[in-house]
Amino acid sequence: MPQHGSCVFYGIFVFQIIRDLIFKALKQFAGSQDICHLEESVLLDIPTDRSFGDLYTNAAMFFAKQLGVAPRVLAASISIALEECDIILSTSIAGPGFININVKNEFWHEFIDEILTKKGGYSETNIKHGETINVEFVSANPTGPLHTGHARNAVFGSVASNLLEKIGYTVTREFYINDQGNQIKALAKSLYLRYLEILGSDIPDDAFGDDMYCGEYIKDLAGCLFETYNDSFINKKESEYLDILKEFSVNKMMENIKEDLELLGITMDKYTSEADLFKRKIPDEVMEILSERGDTYEGVLPRPKGIDDDDEWEERPQTLFRSMKYGDSMDRAIRKSDGTWTYFAGDMAYHLDKIKRGYSKMVTVLGADHSGYVKRLKAAVHALSDGTADIEIRLYQLVNFLENGKPIRMSKRSGNFISLRDVVDKVGKDVTRYMMISRHHDVMIDFDFEKVIECSMDNPLFYIQYAYARICSVLRHYANSFGALNEEEVRNSDKGVLSDVAELNLLKTLSFWPERVRSAALAIEPHRIPGYLQEVAYYFHALWNVGKKNAELRFISPDNRTETISRLSLLMATKIVLEDGLKIMGITPMSEMK
RNA sequence: GUACCCGUAGCUCAGCUGGAUAGAGCGUUACCCUCCGAAGGUAAAGGUCGCAGGUUCGAAUCCUGUCGGGUACGCCA
């Protein structure tokens, strides 16, 4: 990344030149004040109304108060500095102090070289310098196959991870396995009943308790169990088979989960087992650390709101964590009143484990139903790391599945839910992934099985893929007319012909790709990527249609190879950005629409 | 009762750390294929950004209050 002076942030060379000029001008007024650290707050962007100019900056208004200089005075000074630069055509000051900048077309042409040279690396800004970060996602209980909710979690986590890598993090994609506790016991018991069924016993439906699992997959699991162990558990006491069945079912379920993730193209770097944390006595370490900080005490939890009846509520002393000290709304139990660990103790142990493995930055992706969990988790990480580690928690809303415009009802208990596998089988990996990250994580998604596979603007992924396919089509046409394309020649071609507004609009959009990736990564908001790619596709399709009216703007001029090569440079740059964006989303580009 | 999230065009949603006249798609209306893929494109119509205050050069964005909707809340996992 080119670095000019001390105010360095944005990766792109020519943008940085402008930023440097702005700050150089500002420094005349700054005296001893350090203003460089505020560079990120200064906008250098394309104005909403493109007739104002190619670019604008709010620098003068932003610094006016701090420097005690009228914004228009600052603006004038910045303008003068900018106009000394030979790639800038003109500047103008508007409104309260906006500076609009017009640049030569060569300014934008620079980006083509940049993109064609760096390819996928174009969007990489190494602002985190290899720092490690842990992204925990999915972490589904190994009690059944993944369902639609997990799909959103999985895709969000994987795209977020890809984005974080783009800004220079070394990312660990991690899955936390809740492989102990009552739910696993219930799973094993459910499995046993189905197993007996296979061996000929008659099991009535009411043999399954409310907390047990009776989906079809338990029958399959029982089949596997029988294949492996035959009838060796029949007429045995629970204590003799339960542990074996627990391990068996967790292992099988995890295999199943891994296969499901594979369907979405997701591979985890690490799986951490809750049971293993307990074996390693990490919860005891948690206790030690917290006690030393004075963050634990024996006490009673306050009576919950809405329960007045003494029969329903009994105060019992137990070990508590002072999470209120760190912003939680109440202190949280570490041990139950019988002295055993709570689930939260295990979770704290897990996060202590991550801290001990060296992560000072962590991201966790959870369903919105975990909103009450956020503060205590942050509190735990803060206390356990002595404030040195930070955890970001992203909650995602539910996905509403629709068939014929009507919601499909789901009930997990009966096993009547749409599995991730069903969705991928029905619409494919790419559509599933696209739909799952096309909206802000705080917004519910309506997933309509019919609409998402339509080939129209109702289906934005199609629109993007279509742009990509058209580019590939043009490149095929080129090869037919002129033979194989020489990339070197394309890169070195004269970009002067690229001067139409439609061409420049597309190119301007491409110029902001690294910045869009950077800001999406920093905000951990993957949905900005599909939004941006739609914008690219939009300007591409517009340019395509311009060529229909004006033959001179077609990409391929059969009798002018030189100009054709120049035009193809823009197309290839567009192709690279689309490919890169789709890769971040984990979607396979289609060189041809079927 | 408390906490978190949502409320933007008829519908589904963008709107990034506050920036200029709030943007797309669908739907509606009128156009564009002798032409690299029309599965596209162009244009029109459509909004007191839930409501009321506040902060300031400037608010859909930040703060306070309020209304409507969703979710969570015990020693479960």
Nucleotide nearest to A305 (CA to C1'): B1
Q: What are φ and ψ of residue A97, in 5° steps? A: 145, 20
H helix or E strand, kind and range, residue A290: helix A282-292
Nucleotide B74: closest residue by CA–C1'? A304
Q: What is the pLDDT of residue A113?
A: 92
Whole-number Å distance between alpha carbons of A166 and A581: 11
pLDDT tens, residue by residue, A335-344: 999 999 999 9
Q: What pLDDT, on a 0 to 100 scale, did the predictor assign at position A238?
A: 94
Q: Are A122 and A583 in contact (CB under 8 A)?
A: no
What's the CA gap between A58 and A94, in Å, rounded? Answer: 10
Residue A525 CA and nucleotide B16 C1' are separated, in Å, by 9
Three-state SS at A399: strand
Nucleotide nearest to A456 in CA–C1' terms: B39
Residues of chain A with pLDDT under 50: 1-11
Tokens coding A318:
């137990």
Contact between the CB of A550 and strand B at under 7 Å: no
Whether A219 and A290 have beta carbons less than 8 Å apart is answered as no
Residue A58 beta carbon within 7 A of nucleic strand B: yes
Cα A2 from chain centroid (whole Å) = 27
Write out the H or E segment, with its range, that includes residue A134.
strand A132-136
DSSP letter string, A331-388: -EESB-TTSPBPHHHHHHHHHHHHHHTT-SEEEEEEEGGGGGGHHHHHHHHHHHTTT-
Residue A199, C-beta contacts closer than 8 angstroms, at least 6 positions apart: A226, A231, A234
Q: How many CA atoms lie within 13 Å of A108's alpha carbon, on the beta-carbon side?
A: 28
Q: Which two tokens stand for residue A4?
A: 């000019």
Rounded Cα gap, residues A467 and A538, in angstroms? 8
Residue A532 CB lies within 7 Å of the nucleic strand B: no
Q: Which CATH class is domain A13-103?
A: alpha beta
Quickly give A63 CA vs B18 C1' distance in Å: 14
What tokens does A116 get? 């064609």
A396-CA/B14-C1' distance, Å: 18
Which contiguous run of DSSP H or E holds residue A456? Answer: none
- Residue A502 CB coordination number (10 Å): 18
Token code pair at residue A259: 């296969």
Q: What is the pLDDT of residue A307?
A: 64
Tell me which DSSP letter residue A409 carries: P
Q: Which CATH architecture has domain A460-585?
A: Orthogonal Bundle (1.10)
Check if residue A410 sits with its Cβ under 7 angstroms from strand B: no
Helix axes A13-30, A105-118, angle to 10 degrees: 120
Which nucleotides along chain B are within 7 A of a protein C-beta?
A: 1-6, 12-26, 32, 35-42, 57-58, 70-77
pLDDT tens digits for range A312-335: 677 889 999 999 999 898 999 999
Tokens of A504: 């420049």
Measure, in angstroms, how far nucleotide B64 C1' is from residue A560 CA: 66
**A409: which 2 tokens?**
């009802």
CA angle, A416 then A421 then A426, to 5°: 95
A197 beta carbon to strand B: under 7 Å: no
Structure tokens at A149: 């909710």
pTM of the model: 0.94
Choose among A274, A271, A269: nearest CA to A352: A274
In angstroms, the CA A390 to CA A360 distance is 6
Q: Which nucleotide is nearest, taking the CA of residue A478 and each C1'?
A: B36
Distance A27 CA to B62 C1' (A): 28
Neighbours of A255 (CB within 10 A): 12
Unique residue bearing structure tokens 């003494």: A310
Look up residue A280 and give its two tokens. Answer: 């390693």
Q: Which residues contact A86 (CB under 8 A, 6 or more apart)?
A: none
Query: How big is chain A by its Cα radius of gyration, in Å?
Result: 29
Q: Which residue has the tokens 């500047």?
A: A91
Structure confidence at residue A30 (pLDDT): 84
Q: In this predicted structure, what is the pLDDT of residue A40?
A: 80
CB A199 within 8 A of CB A234: yes
A551 touches strand B (CB under 7 A): yes
What are the residue boundaries of the structural domains of chain A, listed by start? 13-103, 460-585
The CA–C1' separation of A346 and B53, in angstroms, is: 47
Cα A410 to Cα A149, A253, A402, A404, A413: the distances in Å are: 11, 21, 11, 16, 9
Instruction: Give distance CA A422 / C1' B74 (Å).
Output: 36
